[in-house]
């Protein structure tokens, strides 16, 4: 008899004698019975007499367990051993002769390894009243392998579902979609089987599903799951080959077939090199490069060392480059066995230091920038012949990386005859930029160094106007960055899309931070020259948000979408236009932006002296966070320690809008505790804090009024104006509703009027045209890149409009809310596409016209006017989707 393979729980059998017989039968056959009223994950089988609304049944279904009738145990006892479970598996009657087997479907998916549970990938914020019921739903969700969090969720958790009972405005205020708990049953059994059984087997479980069905008896159900499936297919088709290099499809020379690749005698080459006859040795090697034939690596290494010494003639340099080009064309490493990759790895490194390909690449970059920080002393720096040679080395290595990327884009590494199976993990690109321990992260140590070198090159090259003096080093480094980003994303996208999104976000935000010292026009130039569309999208987004943040406008952290650009980025652009001209970005390096992996480009003594002086001014406990996530700035604002606040605010890189675990900012704390001096200090800081930040509907102004701090409330209104008076809290009350005295209301209105007058006065001042033009260009690039990456569904003039996917999405959104159309959808990319279509539709109806400030509309700048045409094009796209709907 089997042992520990049959672990049972029982649900729905109330007659004690029937239950006793089943337990005895289980034990007789060597099985195990687990009692109790809650689901246990250790069970393998659940026995139920019929479909139930119990926790055990739903959890067993979500976990992919066997759910069988009592006859399974009784018949197995008669047989003397366990029978096959299939014919005893519970089915759901559909009211006809057919039967529905949702339990079987989930079990087969889990058994095959396609899923670990029905809720795999869900990160649920559970907002259910009552600890007992909340614990039940938590067990149910965790049985289906969901991650469950209580309110407030930790800052690191990216919530995908908010499950609430009852559904309130508070539960809808989170960034993730909010569902009633009945969504669990809908996901498990589908909308067509919410009513179990023909007569009375309604799934209730206090989900109120029966009532919902009776309230809408005539409602025609639309199969929105079909739309989701079509969108998934559409998303796969949108993906286009990225950075495809057709010249690397393969090498074929009809005059030198592979059969002629015989052995060559290179014995004299070594003697020539020993005698200093480098030119003659190079000529011998030039005549011996064929497909499948590689000259000895030590000979090439010796010639490379000679070239690096700076004594070689321009003719030798040119011939040496031809040899390397021919070697790459006839023996491309991305099409060759492992030994050829090892050959290129051995050759392409510093012949003296031998620290690998990245060190060799970094030396070539630094020498091209006339930097003395190379792996060992080189002639020059800036010796013209050697300078062009190092630029050639960069181009050669870039071609190799492009070839490897092409192999990945084509689907697999192409192999020569007899070559063993190759893998991307053994590529030169992987070895160069990621150690074995770093391959799960895009932002490796070498990638960071490459980006820092890119910023240094851009700062020099893009600021110059004389094209003759440019080596276009920054463009080459951008190509490096695009290739390695696409290569890494290709390797991880199919396995873990979330990992790829996080890697791109981390890299783009890092680039935005280290590029803060570049002027706006150079930042725009940097984004324009990025070849990878997905990298351009993320970099443009990060740099635009960074520009806004440094000019007093903070963005939310929700995923990028067309609606986010319209609702938040367009108003932020108006804020950039009104930024004082004195807030232009610096064009010279700051004292804290040249660091590279813990090293600084300044002299060491100066660095030590400055570090010591800075440490004396840094408050103790600055980076310490308490149990509720409060920083030192939070704690100082609560205690009105204005000296500490001022001391913190002068430090570089301080986030004035930092949030604790509950979402409260330092301004919230200062307003709540009546710390008037701290509020004044925060408001005078540049960038100023975000005043419309709300936690459960409570803004800083609400906080001040709820606690009776009128002086702080007036200070906030004089700073921002009457826009703060239009904010509503969680109960729909505006700030004036919190004040009962007429005189106090008059004081608040007067302060708001002063704030509006100040705003109009600032608006009448000269527009910061350089900053507005930079922001407009970045936003235009962002919209174009987003449309190209997502491929929002549309119909072509030759297609049947009424059957196009975009038209049917708009039709569904016209009849139902966005939440209802996407309810239960697991693919967030499909959800965002529906939201994008809804945004286009609303743009065509003129819904978001007020998001563009008058100053932006009236601006005559070339980039801003182009942005206006881009927005008009979006509106036209929406009209084309709607048509004669």
Instruction: Return d(Cα 168, Cα 128) in angstroms, integer.
Output: 11
**Is residue 687 included in any domain, yes or no?**
yes
Buried b or exposed e, range 355-392, using 16+ CB within 10 angstroms: ebbbbbbbbbbbbbbebeebbeebebbeeebbbbbbbb
Q: Is the pLDDT of residue 549 over 70?
A: yes
Which residues is 32 bridged to in the sheet?
Answer: 7
**Which is more confidently placed, 71 or 578?**
71
Q: Count CB atoms within 10 A of the CB of residue 535.
A: 26
pLDDT tens-place string over residues 490-544: 888 767 778 888 888 899 989 988 988 888 888 888 899 888 888 999 999 999 9
How many domains are contained in the chain? 2
- Give the per-residue pLDDT at 198: 35
| Pick from 241, 180, 204, 543: nearest CA to 405 | 241
**Is residue 19 included in any domain, yes or no?**
yes
| Pick from 473, 458, 448, 575: nearest CA to 518 | 458
Of the three residues 60, 91, 111, the one that is the final residue of a domain is 111
Of the three residues 111, 128, 144, the one that is the final residue of a domain is 111
**Is residue 140 included in any domain, yes or no?**
no
Model confidence at 587, pLDDT cuts 50, 70, 90, reads very low
Instruction: Print the domain residue range for 659.
Output: 604-763
Which residues is 178 bridged to in the sheet?
Answer: 162
Pairing mode of beta strands 161-165, 178-180: parallel
| Pick from 722, 716, 676, 719: nearest CA to 700 | 716
Q: Is the pLDDT of residue 94 over 60?
A: no
- Give the per-residue pLDDT at 71: 92
**Is residue 514 included in any domain, yes or no?**
no
CATH number for the domain including 104?
3.40.50.10190
Buried b or exposed e, range 462-478, using 16+ CB within 10 angstroms: beeeeeeeebebbbbbb
Model confidence at 8, pLDDT cuts 50, 70, 90, reads very high
pLDDT tens-place string over residues 235-247: 766 655 556 554 4
| Pick from 489, 480, 474, 568: nearest CA to 534 | 489
Q: Is the pLDDT of residue 711 over 90?
A: yes
DSSP string, 493-506: TTT-HHHHHHHHHH
Pairing mode of beta strands 66-68, 92-93: unpaired
pLDDT tens-place string over residues 616-671: 567 766 778 888 888 999 999 999 998 888 888 888 777 888 888 888 899 999 99
**Is residue 572 included in any domain, yes or no?**
no
Give the single-character DSSP code of 600.
-
**Is residue 63 included in any domain, yes or no?**
yes
- Give the per-residue pLDDT at 197: 36
Q: What are phi and psi of 608, to 5 degrees?
A: -65, -40
Q: Is 483 helix (H, G, I), strand (E, B) or coil?
A: helix
Instruction: Return d(Cα 352, Cα 361) in angstroms, integer.
Output: 14
**Is residue 152 included in any domain, yes or no?**
no
**Is residue 756 included in any domain, yes or no?**
yes
Instruction: Return d(Cα 2, Cα 82) in angstroms, integer.
Output: 8
- Give the per-residue pLDDT at 735: 86
- Give the per-residue pLDDT at 608: 41
pLDDT tens-place string over residues 135-164: 888 888 999 999 988 877 777 778 888 888
Instruction: Tell me the pLDDT of the chain averaged across its residues.
Output: 77
Of the three residues 64, 81, 111, the one that is the final residue of a domain is 111
- Give the per-residue pLDDT at 670: 93
CATH number for the domain including 745?
1.25.40.20
């Amino acid at each position: 008899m089997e042992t520990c393979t049959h672990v049972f729980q029982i649900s729905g059998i109330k007659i004690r004698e029937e239950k006793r017989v089943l337990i005895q039968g289980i034990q007789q056959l060597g099985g195990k019975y687990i009692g109790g009223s809650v689901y246990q994950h250790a069970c393998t089988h659940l026995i139920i007499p019929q479909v139930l609304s119990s926790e055990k049944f739903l959890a067993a279904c979500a976990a992919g367990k066997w759910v069988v009738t009592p006859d399974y145990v009784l018949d197995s006892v008669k047989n003397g051993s366990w029978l096959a479970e299939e014919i005893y598996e519970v089915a759901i009657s559909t009211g006809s002769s057919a039967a529905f087997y949702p339990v079987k479907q989930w079990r087969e998916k889990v058994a095959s390894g396609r899923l670990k549970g029905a809720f795999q990938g869900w990160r649920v914020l559970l907002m259910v009243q009552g600890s007992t019921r909340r614990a039940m739903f938590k067990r149910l969700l965790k049985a289906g392998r969901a991650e469950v969090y209580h309110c407030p969720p930790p800052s690191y958790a990216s919530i995908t579902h908010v499950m609430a009972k009852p559904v309130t405005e508070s539960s809808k205020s989170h960034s993730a979609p909010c569902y009633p708990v009945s969504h669990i049953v809908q996901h498990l059994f589908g909308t067509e089987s919410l009513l179990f059984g023909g007569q009375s087997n309604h799934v209730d479980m206090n989900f109120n599903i029966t009532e919902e069905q009776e309230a809408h008896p005539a409602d025609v159900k639309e199969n929105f799951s079909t739309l989701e499936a079509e969108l998934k297919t559409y998303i796969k088709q949108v993906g286009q080959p990225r950075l495809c290099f057709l010249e690397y499809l393969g090498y074929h020379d009809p005059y030198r077939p592979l059969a002629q690749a015989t052995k060559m005698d290179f014995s004299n080459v070594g003697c020539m090199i020993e005698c200093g006859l480098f030119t003659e040795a190079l000529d011998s090697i030039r005549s011996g490069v064929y497909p499948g034939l590689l000259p000895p690596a030590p000979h090439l290494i010796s010639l490379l060392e000679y070239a690096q010494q700076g004594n070689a003639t321009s003719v030798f340099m040119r011939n040496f480059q031809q040899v390397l080009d021919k070697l790459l064309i006839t023996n491309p490493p991305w099409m060759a066995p492992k030994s050829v990759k090892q050959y290129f790895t051995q050759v392409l490194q510093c012949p003296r230091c031998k620290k690998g390909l990245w060190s060799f690449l970094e030396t070539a970059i630094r020498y091209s920038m006339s930097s003395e920080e190379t792996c060992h002393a080189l002639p020059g720096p800036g010796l013209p012949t050697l300078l062009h040679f190092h630029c050639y080395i960069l181009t050669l290595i870039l071609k190799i990386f492009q070839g490897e990327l092409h192999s990945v884009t084509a689907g697999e590494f192409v192999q020569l005859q007899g070559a063993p199976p190759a893998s991307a993990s053994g590529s030169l690109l992987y070895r160069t930029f990621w150690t074995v321990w770093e391959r799960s992260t895009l932002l490796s140590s070498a990638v960071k160094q490459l980006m820092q070198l890119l910023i240094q090159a851009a700062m020099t090259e893009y600021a110059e106007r004389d094209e003759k003096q440019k080596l276009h080093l920054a463009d080459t480094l951008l190509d490096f960055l695009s290739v390695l980003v696409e290569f890494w994303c290709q390797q991880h996208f199919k396995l873990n899309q979330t990992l790829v999104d996080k890697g791109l976000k981390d890299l783009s935000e890092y680039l935005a931070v280290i590029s803060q010292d570049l002027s706006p026009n150079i930042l725009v130039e940097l984004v324009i020259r990025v070849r990878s569309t997905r990298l351009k999208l993320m970099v443009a987004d990060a740099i635009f948000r960074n520009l806004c943040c440094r000019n007093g406008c903070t963005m939310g952290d929700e995923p990028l979408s067309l609606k986010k650009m319209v609702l938040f980025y367009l108003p932020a652009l108006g804020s950039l236009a009104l930024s004082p001209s004195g807030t232009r970005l610096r064009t010279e390096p700051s004292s804290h932006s040249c660091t590279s992996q813990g090293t600084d480009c300044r002299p060491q003594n100066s660095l030590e002296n400055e570090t010591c002086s800075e440490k004396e001014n840094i408050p103790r406990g600055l980076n310490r966070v308490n149990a509720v996530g409060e920083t030192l700035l939070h704690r100082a604002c609560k205690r009105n320690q204005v000296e500490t606040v001022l001391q913190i605010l002068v430090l570089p890189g301080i986030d004035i809008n930092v949030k604790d675990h509950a979402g409260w900012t330092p301004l919230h704390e200062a307003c709540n505790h009546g710390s008037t001096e701290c509020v004044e200090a925060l408001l005078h800081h540049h960038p100023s804090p975000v005043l419309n930040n709300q936690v459960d509907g409570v803004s800083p102004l609400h906080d001040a009024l709820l606690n009776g701090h009128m002086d702080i409330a007036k200070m906030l209104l004089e700073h921002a104006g009457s826009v703060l008076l239009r904010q509503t809290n969680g109960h729909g009350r505006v700030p004036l509703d919190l004040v009962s005295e007429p005189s106090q209301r008059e004081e608040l209105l007067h302060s708001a009027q002063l704030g509006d007058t100040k705003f109009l006065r600032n608006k009448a001042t000269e527009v910061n045209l350089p900053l507005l033009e930079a922001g407009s260009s970045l936003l235009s690039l962002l919209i174009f890149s987003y449309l190209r990456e997502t491929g929002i569904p549309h119909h072509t003039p030759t297609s049947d409009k009424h059957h196009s996917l975009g038209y049917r999405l708009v039709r569904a959104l016209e009849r139902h809310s966005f939440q209802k159309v996407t309810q239960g959808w697991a693919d967030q990319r499909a959800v965002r596409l529906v939201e994008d279509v809804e945004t286009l539709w609303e743009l065509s109806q003129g819904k978001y016209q007020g998001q563009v400030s008058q100053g932006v509309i009236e601006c005559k700048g070339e980039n801003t006017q182009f942005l206006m045409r881009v927005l008009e094009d979006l509106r036209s796209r929406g009209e084309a989707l709607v048509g004669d709907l």
